[in-house]
Amino acid sequence: MAIATGPVDAKVKCRLRFFDLEAPATCTISGEGDASRVGFATGTAKFKLEQTLEGAAFSYFAIARIGGTLARLGERRMIDVFKALSLQFLGKLRKCVEDGAPADGSTREPV
């Protein structure tokens, strides 16, 4: 994945792990990103889907840690980057749920 913010741009090698899967109600995602020349990021997010009278409510809690040049960019700028990436991820997740297929067009394999 490529990320650019202000004077810093980098290609990031990412690894994601999914655990605490209680489909379709909850899931936890843990991730690590390494952009060796500008720093690193790690984080965990817990997602929860609940049935409501109006349909469904989706909530999540996330925590992240960054280091290197990325950390020196400033908290506000990095929060904006994380928000943008989160919205991008959630948009693709929503498309998958609504379409019943992965957003990237790949086929689902049985787990």
Please write the tens of the pLDDT for every residue from 17-51: 988 888 778 889 898 988 877 888 888 999 898 88
Work out the average pLDDT over 48-57: 86
Residue 6 identity (one-letter amino acid): G
Domains of the chain: 2-73 (3.30.530.20)
Using an 8 Å Cβ cutoff, are 35 and 3 in contact?
yes
Q: Taking 50 as the threshold, does the pLDDT of residue 110 lie above it? A: no
pLDDT, position 46: 92
Handedness of CA 14, 19, 22, 26 (dihedral sign): negative
Q: Taking 50 as the threshold, does the pLDDT of residue 102 lie above it? A: yes
Using an 8 Å Cβ cutoff, are 11 and 2 in contact?
yes
DSSP for the chain? -EEEETTEEEE-EEEEEEEEEETTTEEEEEEEEEETTTEEEEEEEEEEEEEETTEEEEEEEEEEEEETHHHHT-HHHHHHHHHHHHHHHHHHHHHHHHHTS-TTSPPPPP-
Closest CA to 82 of 13, 48, 36, 33: 33
Work out the average pLDDT over 73-93: 77
pTM equals 0.63
